[in-house]
Every structure is written in structure tokens, then in C-alpha cells.
Amino acid sequence: MIEIKDLHKSYRMGSNSLHVLKGINFTAEEGELVAIMGSSGSGKSTLLNILGMLDLADSGEYTLDNVPIKDLSETKAAQYRNKFLGFIFQSFNLINYKSALENVALPLYYQKVGRKERQEKALNYLERVGLKEWATHLPSELSGGQKQRVAIARAMAAEPKVLLADEPTGALDSKTSYEVMDLIQKINDEGNTILVVTHEEDIAHMCKRIVHLKDGVIVEDKKIEQVRAQQYV
Amino acid sequence: MFNRDRWREILEVLTSNVGRTILTAFGVCWGIFILIVLLAAGKGFENGIRADFGDIATNTMFMWTRRTTKPYEGLPKDRSFEFKVSDVQAIWDNVPNLRFVSPRNQLGGFRGGGNVIRGIRVGAYNVYGDYPEIINQDPMSVTSGRFINHNDIKDKRKVAVIGQGVKSELYDKDEEVLGSYIKIQGVNFMVIGTYKKKNNDGDGEEAQKEIYVPFTAFSQAFNRGEDVGWMAITAHDGSSISELKHNIIDVMKTRHKIHPEDKRAVGHFDLYEQFNRVESLFVGLKAIAYLVGIMVLLSGIIGVSNIMLIVVKERTKEIGIRRALGEQPWSIKKQILMESIFLTIISGMAGIIFGSLVIYGINSLLDNTGPVDMFVNPSVSVSVVSGAMMILIISGLLAGFIPANSAIKVRPIEALRTE
């Protein structure tokens, strides 16, 4: 599903440049649930941004679902993001003047799905994250866990190939964190490919595979026995 | 374009900070208001001046004789001469594109002595010997009877058409005018018609106190022979009398043996030239109105652009989210542009409505208090309003352009960076 070869990325900070990713090689199969771990500054967020086509690599190859991702215009990138990727952010990033339903429907709107169908689909996804009754509420009326679940529903709505979660539990207490992870595991059980960036060990162990990043290189890549979040909820 | 969701979003954004939106809108509203009111005032002035010109054919010149100032072909200077009836045919023969050439003679004049008598009543009026065509050059409406015709000219009939002013002074209110006789300098003329001139300036009253008689009858009755007092010459619409007048004057100079360089022997007044001068004044007024209005509007537009920039700044994160979710850059740009155009048009409409109300108020004030000199019916035409709408749409585009560009310049990753 995802294939990365010898990925390099450096940022220029004034006169000296900061080499963040120093040759990353990585593959993820369909249906995998991968945790990307590392301390801050290890380059995990940069890697996720490149995977999410929000940032461009300096060199290296990136193939997503057999489509080579390179030389992207902004228009093309937007198209690919919409078609291939769902984002889940640490700070939820819901649009605060739109209701939960409208937020979830947004990616469908960009796919030019008709209004009625869009709302039906969005409501369906809200139901799957258990927030059907909250559809008309604004994000400000929701709790953190609820917001993140709306964000997950939104990421799912466009039926992307890959879900990218950047510290999805970073802003949540552990109980809601487990609820969110439970949801992510269930989505993964349905066969979706999910990448989770985290620095929390317990969260990482709820994935099926952990990739450790340190100073811009992968130092460890192992499959693990998944801890089900269900038992903590 | 006519997408329900997009419009909802535009309204959501603009109503999220109502006070700010209204203040921004006011700038544009004020600009278009000034533009409309200035144009209307200019139009009112123009209407006033045009009313002073009345219906007179403006492509017209008047020509009369003066003393020569140069000796020529053995003739001395300071010689006086008269136009002759045969000059009219000579002008027709030599100068193309003329519509009317009317020789005229005149009796009386401003504050002339009593020259017209009817029974025991006496009046002092201008009496003109004219051809029927004069009614096209100095338009008047015949209120009863008829105007002079060519049979009158041919038969030298002693008939007269009198103005409403003459009628009210020489006749009782319910007296029959047509068929009665008036005595002009001792010669009886039968009244065959009355006229009224549309003229509302200071000379209005004087213009209603004129008497028109056939040119030939005039010449015979008052011993003018072949002489012509002056001429009124109108050119066809396509050509300008200001260009033709030199030919006409040259024809007169040859016929009357006047030195070609003698500039003063033939006097003339070019109405078209005067009219054009006033016309260019109107153009200038309009230009000033547009300039001032658009300048004020411009400052309003800069205000809109500023606010849109702030809005974009405030929504940087939101725009980042949208782009991460796959919104096309062009779609974001369109959104910002439409917000800006919408805001400009709505506030511009408010300005147009406000301006129209003020113009309406001025008009009804003018109607109630009576006419004001040189200011009649200030108004803006539909074309001006639609022009203003065009200006608004263009300025909305301009106002949104920079903010829209800055909105898509922000890379989503920067917009999403958590603080």
C-alpha cells in the first residue's frame, strides 16, 4: 500500500540546514496498523507530513497504492489527499462554525458528492463513531473525545486508502484515549490501513507494528502482539 | 457558482462578525452613494442648461451684414451692404449639406415703441418676416390655426401668426383671434394662428410676444425690396455648421465684392460652437463626478481588501484543514473572491438605494418649491446604475484578489502546525 525508498528531507534554518529525515525505507501493507514512534525531533511528524502530501521530500521515492507521488502541483496534491488519505490530528482541527455533520460531510463535498447523499453518508459515519445524536452540534459543544471521534468520522467519510493519525490521543486523557484507540482498532479490523504517530508506549502497543524513529532514521521496525483497547474502556 | 453550500458559507463568514462587516460595507456604500449623487447633480445641471437651449436646432448659425473694413476692387472701406434674396439661392447652389437657409427680416426689437395696434390696444412686439421653415429652426407649437405656408409666401398674403403673449395683451380672454386683423406699422394683417414657445429661461416671456408674417409680404409692406436682414442657416445632422460656415461666408464675400481677408464685414453667431462648448462642460462635469466617486469608492474597496486579508489570516488554520481534506486551491480562491464580491455588491446596492432615495427627495423638493434656475430633474439612468454595478463587481474582484492569493499561498502544513 505504502512504499518509501531512501527518503531525505532537510529544513533550512537561516544559514545552516537541518537534516530531518536521513534515508527512510519503509513499506506498509494493506490492512496494517502501524505506530510510528520517536522522541520529539526524531522526524516522525515530518515523515507523516510527507506521507500525507502536505510536505515534499527532497529526494527518494514514494508510492501510494501503486501511484508514484512526485512532482505534485497543489491541485493534484489536493486531489490525491482527498482520494487517498484521511487525516486525524492531535488538535482535532474541526471547523468550528460548522456542525459535526457538516464537518464530516466536508471531504465528500470536495469530491462533489450531491448534497443529499453527502448528508446521508456523513450521518452514517457519525453513527459508526457513536455520535449520531450530536450531528447538529457545533464542535464547541462537544468534549475532546467526541471531537476526535467526529474527526475520525470525517477522515473515514471519503473512504480513503490510508488513515494518517498524528498524535490522535495527544490531547486526550487516558480513558478517552483508549476509547479513540478502540475506534481506530475497529476501523483497522475492517481492513483499513492506518498509520499512527505517537510517543506514548501504551498507545503504540495497541497497534500491530511499531516503527521507531531516531534522528531521522528507522532504528527499529517490529511486529507486535496487539493490545486490544476494548478491555480498558 | 450557485451552490447552496457555498452561499451558506459566505453568509456564515460575513455574519460571524456583523459589526466589522457593516463598517467595511459602509466604505463601499459611501463611495457608490457619492458617485450616484454627483452624477445625478451633474445631470440636473445638464438638464437645466439644455432646457435653456430649448428645442432650438443647435446645428445652426446666424449671419448678418456689417460695414466692410478693407477696400476691394475699387470699392472703399466702411461701405455698408445688404444681403439680397438672391443670396439664398446662391448659398443653396454653392454649399452642400445644408438643411435650411432662412432669410429673415425684423421690425421692432427689445423695448421698441408701440408698433402694433388693434382697436384701442397698442403693443410693442418683434415682427419677423419669415419663411415657413423657421418653425423647424426655432421650434414653437402652433396652439390654434396654422403657421405660415408657401402659398402665403408666393401670394404675399398679409397674414400673421402671433404669440400667446401678444394674444393676451391685444385680445380679451374669450375673444376670437383667428380671422381678426391687427395693424402692424399701419398695415393690416389677418391673424391666422397663435403659437407657444417652449422656453423656461429669462427670455421666456419675450419669446411669447413675437409676430410672424410671410417674408415676401413683410418685404412689400415695409419697403424692404430685395433686402434680407439676416439669415438662419441649419446644416444636416451629419455635418457641422461650424465647418460649413466658412464656405457660406466666402460665397457672401464674393457676391458682395468684399476683400477675402475682411473678417468683420459678415457678422455671425455659431450656435453649434456655443452648444459644443457647453457640451464639453457636461463631459467635464461627468468626468469629475466619476473621478471623485471612484476615488471614494476606491478607499472603500481598500477597506474591503484589508478586512478580507484579516479574515484570511484568521481562517489560516481552517483553510489548512480544508486543503488537507482535499479542497482545491482554486476552490478556496473562488470562495474568498465570492465573499469579497458579495460584500461589495450588497453594500454597493445599499449605496445605490440610499443615493436614489436622496435624489428622489431632492426631486420632490424641487417639485414642491418650484423650479430652480439651471437645475432640472437630477437623475441617474439605468445605464449609469448598471455601470455602477459593473464597477462594483470589478472592484469586488480586485478587493478579493490579494487576500485570495494570500489564502492559497499558505501551505497546509504551516496552517496546521499546532502552537
Mean pLDDT in residue range B39-46: 87
- Of residues A95 and B205, more confidence is placed in A95
Contact yes or no for A74 and B408 at CB 8 A:
yes
A residues 104-123 closer than 8 Å to B (CB): 106-107, 109-111, 115
pLDDT at B113: 66
Report how far residue A133's alpha carbon sits from residue A213's, in angstroms, rounded to the nearest whole number. Answer: 40
The predicted model gives A103-110 an average pLDDT of: 90
- Say yes or no: B281 and B370 in one domain: yes
ipTM confidence score: 0.87
The overall average pLDDT reported for chain B is 87
Confirm whether B117 is domain-assigned: yes
pLDDT of residue B2: 58
Confidence of residue B54 (pLDDT cuts 50, 70, 90): low
Work out the pLDDT band at B202, boundaries 50, 70, 90. Answer: low
Residue that has been written with the C-alpha cell 496494517 in this structure: A32
Considering the domain architecture, whether residues B39 and B74 belong to the same structural domain is answered as: no
Mutation target to probe the A interface, by most A beta carbons within 10 A, among B2, B12, B321, B325 is: B325
Query: Do residue B326 and residue A91 have CB atoms under 8 angstroms apart?
Result: no
Same-domain pairing of B76 and B190: no
Last residue of a domain, one of B214, B235, B256: B235
Contact between B416 and A93 using a beta-carbon 8 Å cutoff: yes
Distance CA B336, CA B311 (A): 9
Assess whether B231 and B129 both reside in one domain: yes
One domain, residues B213 and B287: no
pLDDT (average), residues A165-169: 90
pLDDT at position B418 is 57
Is B108 inside any structural domain?
yes
In a domain, B271, yes or no: no
pLDDT of residue B267: 92
Nearest CA in chain A to B16: A97
Q: What pLDDT, on a 0 to 100 scale, did the predictor assign at position B64?
A: 93
B272 in any annotated domain: no
Question: Minimal Cα distance from A170: which residue of B?
Answer: B418
- B203 or B259, which is more confident? B259
- Cβ neighbours of A83 in B, within 8 Å: 326
**pLDDT value of position B376:** 80
pLDDT score of A55: 84
Q: Give the gap in angstroms from C-alpha B314 to the nearest C-alpha of chain A.
A: 12
pLDDT band at B108 (very low <50, low <70, confident <90, very high): confident
For B22-42, write each residue's pLDDT tens digit. Answer: 888 888 898 889 888 888 888
Angstrom CA distances, B407 to A62, A106, A120, B331, B417, stand at 28, 19, 31, 11, 16
CB spacing of B326 vs A158 below 8 angstroms: yes
Looking at residue A97, what is its pLDDT? 86
Contacts of B300 (CB under 8 A, 6+ apart): B26, B27, B28, B29, B30, B31, B347
Residue B347 within a domain: yes
- Is there a single domain that holds both residue B260 and residue B283? no
B412 and B282 together in one domain: yes
Boundary residue ending a domain (B185, B219, B235): B235
DSSP string, chain A: -EEEEEEEEEEEETTEEEEEEEEEEEEE-TT-EEEEE--TTSSHHHHHHHHTTSS--SEEEEEETTEE--S--HHHHHHHHHHHEEEE-TT----TTS-HHHHHHHHHHHTT--HHHHHHHHHHHHHHTT-GGGTT--GGGS-HHHHHHHHHHHHHHT--SEEEEESTTTTS-HHHHHHHHHHHHHHHHTT-EEEEE---HHHHTTSSEEEEEETTEEEEEEE-PPPPGGGG-
| Burial (CB count within 10 angstroms: exposed 0-12, middle 13-18, buried 19+), residue B228 | buried
| pLDDT band, residue B7 (cuts 50/70/90) | confident
Q: What is the mean pLDDT of residues A69-87?
A: 87
How far is the alpha carbon of B51 from chain A, nearest alpha carbon, in Å? 59
Report yes or no: A40 at the B interface, CB cutoff 8 Å.
no
Scanning the structure block, which residue is given the C-alpha cell 435653456? Answer: B52
B145 shares its domain with B189: yes
**Whole-number pLDDT of residue B66:** 92
Domains of chain A with bracketed CATH: 2-232 (3.40.50.300)
Q: What residues of B are in contact with residue A110 (Cβ under 8 Å)?
A: 322, 325-328, 331
Minimum distance, in Å, between the CA of residue A85 and any CA atom of chain B: 8
Q: For chain B, what percent of residues have pLDDT higher than 70?
A: 95
- For chain B, the domain total comes to 3
Q: Judge whether residue B1 has pLDDT over 80.
A: no
Where residue B92 falls among pLDDT bands split at 50, 70, 90? very high
Q: What confidence score (pLDDT) does residue B416 get? A: 74
Give the residue-averaged pLDDT of B207-234.
Answer: 92
Contact A54 B12 (CB under 8 A): no
Binary contact (B12, A97; C-beta < 8 A): yes
Predicted pLDDT at B49: 80
B18 is a domain residue:
yes
- Across the interface, whether the CB atoms of B328 and A79 are under 8 A apart is answered yes
pLDDT above 90 as % of chain B: 36
In a domain, B127, yes or no: yes
Same domain (yes/no): B138, B173: yes
Work out how many CB contacts closer than 8 A connect A with B. Answer: 64
Nearest-CA distance from B6 to chain A in Å?
10
Q: How confident is the model at residue A211 (pLDDT cuts 50, 70, 90)?
A: very high
What distances in angstroms separate CA B96 from CA B16, B22, B87, B200, B404, one per listed residue? Answer: 71, 63, 15, 34, 62
Q: How far is A197 from chain B (nearest CA, A)?
A: 15
Distance from CA of B400 to the nearest CA of A (A): 20
Tell whether B105 and B76 lie within a shared domain: no
A72 in contact with chain B, both atoms CB, cutoff 8 A? no
Kindly report the nearest CA distance between residue B24 and chain A, in angstroms.
22
Cross-chain CB nearest to B326 (options A93, A95, A110): A110
Residue B4: its chain A contacts at CB < 8 A?
A: 115
Q: How far apart are CA A20 and CA A41, in angstroms?
A: 8
Inside any domain, residue B382: yes
Using a CB-CB distance cutoff of 8 angstroms, which residues of chain A are in contact with residue B321?
93-95
A129: which residues sit within 8 A by CB, 6+ positions away? A149, A150, A152, A153, A183
Least Cα separation, residue B311 to chain A (angstroms): 14
Q: Compute the average pLDDT of residues B308-318.
A: 87
pLDDT bin (cut points 50, 70, 90) of residue B151 is very high
Residue B337: which domain range? 4-54+277-416
Percent of chain A with pLDDT over 70: 100
Cβ distance A54 to B322 less than 8 Å, yes or no, reads no
pLDDT, one tens digit per residue, over B368-417 is 887 777 778 888 888 888 888 888 888 888 889 999 988 888 777 777 76
Q: Could you read off the pLDDT of B233-244 as tens digits, one per residue?
A: 999 988 889 899
Same domain, B360 and B334: yes
Interface test with B, best of A9, A79, A80, A82 (most B CBs within 10 A): A82
Contacts of A106 in chain B (CB under 8 A): 322, 325
Q: Which residue of A has its CA nearest to B419?
A: A91
Please indicate, yes or no, whether residues B35 and B125 belong to a single structural domain of this protein. Answer: no
